[in-house]
Every structure is written in C-alpha cells, then in structure tokens.
C-alpha cells in the first residue's frame, strides 16, 4: 500500500491505519497498544498532522466521571443567577474531532459503554484508545474495542524502525475523500464475511468496519473498486486482531474434493472470456484474504484462548464483588441520596447541585419582599459521600507435601511466598499456606503479610506419606470463604501432581480418593474463586490436567524450581 514501498510491519500498519482513519472517520478509531514513549508520540503527531487545523483534539482520562464527560451543573454560576446553569462536557468539545483515551485498559465498563454510544451518535468523534498493558487479562474493554476498526500493537517496535516524514500527502488525502463515496464493493462483502467466519468472528460489526476500511484503501490507491490487496490489508488490520480460532486449511480442501471432479472445474472451463481468468474468483479471493489474516494472527493465539477458557472470572468473589456500595473509608466513589450521621459524611457540593434546580420553584412560596436564600436546601436534597474500600488480595498456596518430590515442591512454594510477601508492603496482600500429607491437610501458615513469620513457618515441614487431595481442596475452599468474609479477594494456587491416594475419611484407596478429589474440585468450581493448578510432576500428569478442568483452574506445568513464574501465575489469575 501507500507507505513508501516498505515491507508491511507494525509501524507500516499503524501508518496505513492513520491514513484510512483520516479518509473515513466512520471507522471509529483505533486501539493502539504501546507504552508511553517516542514511538507512540511519533504516531500521534503524524496522525494529528493529517487532520484539519481546526479539528478538536482532546485527552480523555480513563477515570473521567459522567459530569466531566457529558457536562453538568455549574454551581457558582447557578448560585449567582438563581437558575440552573449547565456546563458542556468533554464529549461536546470533540464532536467531529479526536479523543485520545489514555490508559484505556483501565477504563471502566460504564465509561466504555458511554464512549461506544458516542461513536454511534450523530457527530461521532474518532477515538484512539492507548492501551499500555501487555497482559492478556488487561485490555481495552470489548464494548469499546469492538467499535474501533483497527487494532495495532507497537509495543515491540524499536525507535529505529520509525520512518520519518508525513503519513500522507495532503493532496492525496483530499482526492481520496472525494473518491470514497464512489468506490464499488465488488466481491468484498461475501469474501470478508467468509473470512470472518473462518477466524471465528461471530459479530457483523468487524465485517462492516473491514468493508469500510477496504473502500478507504481503494480510494487511497486511486481505484474505483475494492481489490484483492485491499481485502488482504483489512484482513490483517481489522479481522486478524479479533480472531478467536485458527482458520482451517484442510477442511477447505476436503470440501472442494467432496464436490467431485466434474463440478466446479467444468464450470470454470466453460467461461468464454479469457480476460476473466486473470481475475481471481470468489473462492480464490476468500482464500487469499483468509491467508492474509492467518499470517497476521498473534503468536500463541490458541494457547491464550485455552488459558482464558480455563480461567473463568469469579462472580461475587473477585475484586469487583468485594467492593461495597457505601462505606465510611476508602476511595471516593461519588455521592448517593441519604442523611448524614452515624459516620456518613455530607457531600456539600452534591447537595447544592441537587437543590439548585428547584430554587425558583421553592421561592414562589415566600413573601414578595421578604429576603430569602438563593437556594433552599431541603432534606430530600441531602447527598452523602460514597466510598469504595480497597479490596485486599489473599493468595492461598495449597502444597502437596507427600511423596519423594516433597522437598522440591516445598522449596518452590517457599520461594513464591517470599517473593509475593516482598511486594505485599505496597499492595497490602495476604498470603496463606496449606500443606497436605498423610491423612489430612493442615493450615501451615495462616493469613499474614509478615515475611519473617512465613519463613519460620515454612522452615521445618516434614514430607512423605499419602496424598489426601480431597481434604486439601475442602480446606482450601474453607480458607477462601474465610478470606472473603474478611473482605479479601482470595486466589488459590495448588502445587500437586493430582494423584490422590487417601480418601476423605483417611482410608487408603486410589480410585475412591481420585473420585472424591474430582468431586471436591467440581464443588470448588461453583464457588467462583480464581484457581491455578501447578503440575509439579516431571513429565506432566493426566490426573492433574483432569483435576484442573474439574476445578475450572488455569493449568500450568512447573517441573523445575521457578518461584518467579509461580508468583506471576498467581497474579495473572487474580487479575
């Protein structure tokens, strides 16, 4: 495409996306994954240069409230005028312009929904969601990302890869805008729809955005109809980042073979016009577009999808569920109707805002020449402050202390506990350790943030004996429920090979013990706690994989001592 003839890459894709957004603002915007730095700043400066000089350009904080976003009551002007005076919000200032959402991965679902509604409004702005997180669990909310056509990752782009100069010549941009309404779709609609199905995309919105982007690309390259290269481009920029599965090649070949040797080939040979042979058919275009999307799929897509499916989010037991609606301490979270007292504090500004619109109505009952207040505050106007108490986290390690590998497993748990405790001073996290061996499970280390206490408790733990796995799962469930009652968000980390041989009542019997462990695991899954099962066997255990599925846990192998990786797994599960 038009980018100096350079080989397609993240920077070239980002430049092309900027050009297409400038040609067709109806594409909504882009999710730009990149940390703050010269690479991201260079793209933002280049994109801003493509816009008209008077086009609004505003920063949208990820923690912006509704009043700042939509506008609200100007309290000072209202008190002076004696009537409601409203101020415009940030959205009113970026109509037809660009809003840059800093740290979009931290935007709340409510803000994402409101911004998504603004994109579909009468004068929609272009939104650039700056996603600074590299973690798969932290990303721009899907409600907003689904409405932004392009998803480009510049997190691994070096400064040396940046090409200088303007992203697009102003004259080319003007001509492309003029040409855009007259571009023909050709075979773009069925081809993009088939490619989206092959990639596991079950929404029509990406197909519609891909079609608009293909039309803009054709207008940019001075064509009258969407061509093969336009479809390959949008497959890479629009469809591939949204893929949920790898497109199958063998199934397509088998489907063509099932049609028989006398079906499609004969129809193709009957085509009289030799000029049509130079133009790829519908099936060929679909295959080319799908292959272009396949080449752009991120590495490890299937592994991440499997990990995400095996780690369901906790319903009421997560951090969001632990947030109380109203409290006496914590982070301010707006105001609510109520009477002050018993520790509840009056929100004076919110109270005045609630009373201000009624000023003129309430003054009608006063005598004509009697002095009266500009705003009359009544009991129904009282607003009290709301707070969101910070939910503390607790990681519960459940360590298999049985068998010949007990010492190695305990050393891994000790290293992980010490590593997480070293960070608990900042995050105020708690850590607990349950060890199971012999006939039952014991709380080796109750919930604590003390590193010294953890070291003392873990120093002398004997190993050996049977594996009472069902009892350990029940003990972990009880510990997680206790942490939840105390306002903490628990995450369970099991270190085991999944081979149970001690029943719940302490008797021997491998088959019964394994069945009881799986039943306890399914019961734990209904609690909704984030769970990680670390398989510490040397070659991987089928019993551990099956138990992880029963518990709805994230499965990981850790056959060697790696406490840093174990702590990282626990943090990802709790995210």
26's CB contacts (< 8 A; 6+ apart) are: 124, 212
Does residue 321 sit within a domain?
no
Does residue 271 form part of some domain? no
pLDDT of residue 312: 38
**What confidence score (pLDDT) does residue 308 get?**
44
User: Do 119 and 8 share a structural domain?
Assistant: yes
**What sign does the CA torsion over 534, 537, 542, 543 have?**
negative
Q: What is the CATH number of the domain that holds 434?
A: 3.40.50.410
* Rg, Å, the chain Cα set: 30
Strands 86-88 and 71-73: antiparallel
Q: How many domains does the chain have?
A: 4
Residue 45's H or E segment, with its range, is: helix 38-50
Look at residues 165, 183, 202 and tell me which one is the last residue of a structural domain: 165
Do 43 and 28 lie in a common domain? yes
148 plus 225 within the same structural domain: no
Q: Would residue 136 count as lying in a domain?
A: yes
Is the same domain home to 348 and 457?
no
Query: What pTM, to 2 d.p., does this model score?
Result: 0.55
Distances (CA, A) of 574 to 394, 425, 450, 474, 521: 9, 18, 21, 20, 18
Using an 8 Å Cβ cutoff, are 570 and 395 in contact? yes
Could you give the angle at which helices 406-427 and 563-574 cross, rounded to 10 degrees? 50
Q: For residue 246, what are the domain limits?
A: 169-256+280-306
pLDDT at 184: 93
For residues 73 and 154, membership in a common domain is answered with: yes
Residues 397 and 521 in one domain: yes
Residues 213 and 24 sit within 8 Å (Cβ to Cβ):
yes
Provide the sign of the torsion angle of the four alpha carbons 191, 192, 197, 203, taken in this order: negative
User: Is residue 314 domain-resident?
Assistant: no
Q: What is the CATH number of the domain that holds 161?
A: 3.40.50.300
What local confidence, expressed as pLDDT, does residue 373 receive? 62
Q: Is residue 227 part of a domain?
A: yes
The backbone torsions φ and ψ at residue 102, rounded to the nearest 5 degrees and listed phi first, read -75, 140
Q: Residue 501 falls within a domain, yes or no?
A: yes
Answer yes or no: do 483 and 566 share one domain: yes
Does 319 map to a domain?
no
Residue 231 CB partners (closer than 8 Å, separation 6+): 188, 191, 192, 195, 214, 285, 288, 289, 292
Domain boundary among 124, 149, 165: 165
Q: Is residue 272 part of a domain?
A: no
Residues 336 and 414 in one domain: no
pLDDT tens per residue across all 575 residues of the chain: 444 444 467 888 898 999 999 999 999 999 999 888 888 999 998 898 888 878 899 999 888 888 788 887 776 777 677 777 788 888 888 888 899 998 888 888 888 888 988 888 778 889 999 988 766 557 888 889 999 999 988 988 888 888 766 667 778 888 999 999 999 998 889 889 888 888 888 888 999 999 999 999 999 999 999 998 899 889 889 998 888 777 765 444 454 455 544 444 444 444 444 444 455 666 766 776 666 666 666 555 544 544 444 333 333 333 433 334 445 556 667 788 887 766 678 888 888 888 887 777 776 655 544 555 667 778 788 888 877 666 678 888 888 877 655 555 666 666 666 666 666 555 667 888 888 888 788 888 888 877 677 777 766 666 677 888 999 999 999 999 998 888 788 889 888 888 888 888 878 888 898 999 999 999 999 888 889 888 877 777 888 889 999 998 888 876 555 555 666 666 665 55
The pLDDT assigned to 325 comes to 40
User: Does 477 share its domain with 524?
Assistant: yes
My answer on whether 422 and 436 are in the same domain is yes
In a shared domain, residues 554 and 525: yes
41 and 90 fall within a common domain? yes
């Amino acid at each position: 495409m038009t980018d100096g003839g350079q080989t397609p890459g993240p920077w070239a894709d980002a430049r092309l996306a900027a050009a297409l957004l400038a040609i067709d603002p109806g594409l909504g915007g882009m999710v730009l994954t990149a940390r703050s730095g010269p690479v991201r700043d260079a793209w933002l400066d280049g994109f801003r240069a493509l816009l008209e000089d008077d086009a609004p350009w505003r920063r949208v904080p990820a923690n912006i409230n509704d009043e700042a976003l939509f506008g609200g009551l100007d309290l000072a002007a209202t008190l002076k005028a004696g009537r409601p005076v409203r101020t415009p919000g940030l959205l009113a200032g970026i109509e037809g312009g660009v809003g840059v959402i800093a740290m979009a991965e931290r935007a709340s679902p409510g803000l994402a929904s409101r911004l998504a509604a603004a994109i579909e409004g009468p004068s929609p702005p272009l939104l650039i969601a700056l996603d600074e997180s590299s973690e798969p669990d932290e990303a721009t909310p899907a409600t907003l990302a689904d409405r932004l056509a392009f998803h480009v990752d510049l997190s691994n782009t070096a400064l040396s890869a940046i090409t200088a100069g303007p992203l697009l010549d102003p004259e080319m941009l003007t001509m492309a805008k003029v040409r855009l309404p007259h571009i023909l779709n050709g075979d773009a609609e069925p081809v993009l729809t088939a490619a989206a199905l092959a990639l596991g995309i079950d929404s029509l919105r990406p197909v519609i955005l891909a079609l608009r982007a293909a039309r803009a690309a054709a207008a940019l390259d001075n064509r009258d109809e969407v061509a093969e290269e336009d479809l390959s481009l949008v497959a890479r920029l629009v469809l591939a980042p949204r893929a949920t599965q790898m497109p199958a090649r063998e199934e397509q070949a088998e489907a063509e073979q099932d049609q028989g040797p006398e079906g499609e080939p004969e129809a193709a040979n009957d085509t009289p016009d030799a000029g049509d042979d130079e133009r790829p058919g519908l099936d060929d275009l679909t295959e080319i577009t799908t292959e272009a999307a396949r080449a752009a799929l991120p590495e490890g897509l299937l592994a991440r999808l499997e990990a995400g499916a095996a780690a369901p989010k906790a319903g009421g037991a997560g951090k969001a569920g632990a947030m109380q609606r109203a409290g006496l301490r914590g982070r301010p979270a707006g105001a609510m109707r109520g009477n002050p007292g018993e520790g509840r504090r009056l929100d004076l500004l919110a109270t005045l805002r609630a009373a201000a619109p009624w000023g003129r109505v309430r003054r009608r009952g006063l005598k004509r020449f009697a002095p009266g207040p500009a705003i009359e505050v009544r009991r129904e106007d009282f607003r009290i402050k709301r707070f969101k108490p910070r939910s503390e986290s607790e990681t519960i390690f459940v360590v298999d202390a049985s068998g010949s590998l007990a010492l190695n497993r305990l050393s891994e748990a000790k290293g992980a506990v010490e590593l997480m405790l070293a960070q608990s001073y900042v995050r105020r996290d708690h850590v607990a350790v349950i060890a199971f061996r012999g006939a039952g499970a014991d709380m080796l280390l109750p919930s604590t943030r003390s590193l010294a206490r953890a070291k003392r408790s873990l120093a002398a733990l004997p190993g050996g004996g049977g594996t009472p796995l069902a009892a350990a799962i029940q003990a972990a469930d009880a510990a997680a429920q206790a942490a939840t009652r105390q306002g903490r968000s628990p995450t369970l980390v099991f270190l085991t090979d999944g081979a149970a041989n001690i029943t719940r009542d302490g008797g021997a019997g491998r088959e019964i013990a394994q069945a009881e462990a799986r039943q306890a695991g399914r019961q734990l899954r209904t609690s909704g706690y984030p769970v990680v099962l670390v398989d510490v066997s040397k070659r991987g255990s089928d019993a551990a994989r099956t138990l992880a599925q029963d518990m709805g846990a994230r499965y990981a192998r850790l056959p060697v001592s790696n406490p840093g990786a174990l702590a990282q797994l626990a943090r990802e599960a709790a995210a």
